[in-house]
Structure formats: structure tokens, C-alpha cells
Amino acid sequence: MFDAILFDLDNTLYAPERQLFSLIDVRINRYMEDVAGIPGAEVDGLRRRYWAEYGVTLQGLMRHHGVDPEDYLAYVHDVDVNARLHPDPALRHALRPLPGRKAVFTNGTRDHAERVLRALELEDLFDAIFDIRVASYLPKPDPAPYRKVLQSLDVAAERCLMVEDSAANLKTAKALGMGTVLVGGGKKEAFVDAVIPAVSRLPETLPIWATP
């Protein structure tokens, strides 16, 4: 069926209602104002612009404000993960028997991913973590990090399934030949193979790829 399954991290392996990413959002705004020296009135507009142009705020800050990416990443991910996330036995039960290797593919950092997986008690289920550094800080949905991940796993795109809460990120995955699952509901675009309300429902989708 699949040799590898790639999982996004934030708002995918845990529900957005946990509000963990909102803590990171606050840290991003604070960094832009307090560290990068951007006037507070300009922060929201610049974030929207950089997201639209580059996929993440970081790329805009690197290109236009000379920000050190490692300093930025350490700052914005300095949040209390355990205050928002707790062990998820139901998700563990759902993910454990899935076929192939399982990897996290995130625009965040490895350290943040490791802390999230530990909080959910899922860390032993994943074979690899690919973070924003995998393609020199180029984020999803740029195709470069996807290709780096596939190369590292030594797996063809057609033998890989991607599980994400971002339709834009799945669009690139599908263009490369991957299977795609959108988490959290939303419109089933042509490049999305299945839509599920939560990642624990992933096993229910696998029969659509089963060989007759």
C-alpha cells in the first residue's frame, strides 16, 4: 500500500482546539517587534505578506530583515507544550498498526516536534523527523523539502502518503505523486484523496488505496 506516511505536526497530530500553535503565534509577533525591531502596527500585515509569498514568516524575515533563522526558531518555539498537550492513547492505538514507516514532516523544528511527540506519548511510533532545516529553511509547500524527504527515506512519491491540515501543502504532495489526506475537515479539492475530522480516523481511509 504505502512504504511511508508523512505527518504534519501542529494542528494535525493534535487538534487546533488545544491552542498550542496560538502560543507560537504570540512568540512570532513578539520576536518581530522586540527582536527584529519591526513596528507593532506593521507586524500583522508583514506576516500575511510573508506567508503569501514564502509559506512561512521566517523566510520573509531572513530575506528582508537579516534575521538569524536559528535564533528565530529557538525563540518562537519556546512554549510550554505540556500545558496544552497530554497523552493520547486513542491516537496511539490508531497509528501503531499503520503500514510502512512513519515520519513527521513539519515547518517547525525537530526539538519542538520531539516535545510534542513526547507529550502525546507517540515518540516511539515515528522513524524520522524532518523539520524546516531539511531544505535550507525552505518550507512546505515549496517542493524542495518534499524532494529532500523522499530522497532521505529512499521512497518514491507514489509509495508515500501525506497527512496534513493544510490544503496548500497537500497540493504540492499530490503534484509530486503522493497520496493525500486532509485533517480537520474542509473542502475536498481535486488534489485531496480523503478528508478526515481527526488524524485518529486515518485507518478508515486506507482501503481506498487497496489493490483490488
Q: pLDDT tens across 82-131, in order?
A: 999 999 999 999 999 999 999 999 999 999 999 999 999 999 999 999 99
pLDDT at 212 over 70: no
Query: What order do you get walking across the sheet with 128-130 strand by strand?
Result: 128-130, 101-105, 4-7, 160-164, 179-183, 194-196
Bond into 141 cis (ω within 30): yes
Q: What angle do CA 124, 111, 60 make, to 5 degrees?
A: 135
Say whether both 30 and 67 belong to one domain.
yes
Other CB atoms within 10 Å distance of the CB of residue 188 = 12
User: How sure is the predictor about 186, in pLDDT bands with cuts at 50, 70 and 90?
Assistant: confident
Say whether both 92 and 136 belong to one domain.
yes
Give the integer Cα–Cα distance in Å for 49 and 55.
Answer: 9
User: How sure is the predictor about 152, in pLDDT bands with cuts at 50, 70 and 90?
Assistant: very high
DSSP string, 33-57: IIIS---HHHHHHHHHHHHHHHSSH
State residue 187's pLDDT score: 82
Say whether both 44 and 149 belong to one domain.
no
- Residue pointed to by grid coordinates 529553511: 137
Say whether both 26 and 68 belong to one domain.
yes
**Any idea what the CATH number is for the domain that residue 170 is in?**
3.40.50.1000
Say whether both 135 and 205 belong to one domain.
yes
Say whether both 9 and 34 belong to one domain.
no
195 beta partners: 182
Look up residue 12 and give its three cell numbers: 494535525
Residue 15 makes CB contacts below 8 A (sequence gap 6+) with 184, 198
Instruction: Please give the residue range of the domain that contains residue 59.
Output: 20-76
Give the integer Cα–Cα distance in Å for 77 and 151.
Answer: 27
pLDDT at 211 over 70: no
Say whether both 53 and 117 belong to one domain.
no
Question: In this structure, what DSSP letter does residue 82 have?
Answer: G
Give the integer Cα–Cα distance in Å for 32 and 66.
Answer: 12
Among 94, 83, 72, smallest CA distance to 28 is for 72
**Any idea what the CATH number is for the domain that residue 46 is in?**
1.10.150.450
User: How sure is the predictor about 185, in pLDDT bands with cuts at 50, 70 and 90?
Assistant: confident
The type of residue at 180 is: T
Look up residue 133 and give its three cell numbers: 532545516
pLDDT at 29 over 90: yes
State residue 18's pLDDT score: 95
Say whether both 92 and 71 belong to one domain.
no
Among 1, 6, 20, smallest CA distance to 127 is for 6
How many structural domains compose the chain?
Answer: 2
Out of 55, 76, 97, pick the residue that ends a domain: 76
Give the integer Cα–Cα distance in Å for 164 and 140.
Answer: 11
User: How sure is the predictor about 79, in pLDDT bands with cuts at 50, 70 and 90?
Assistant: very high
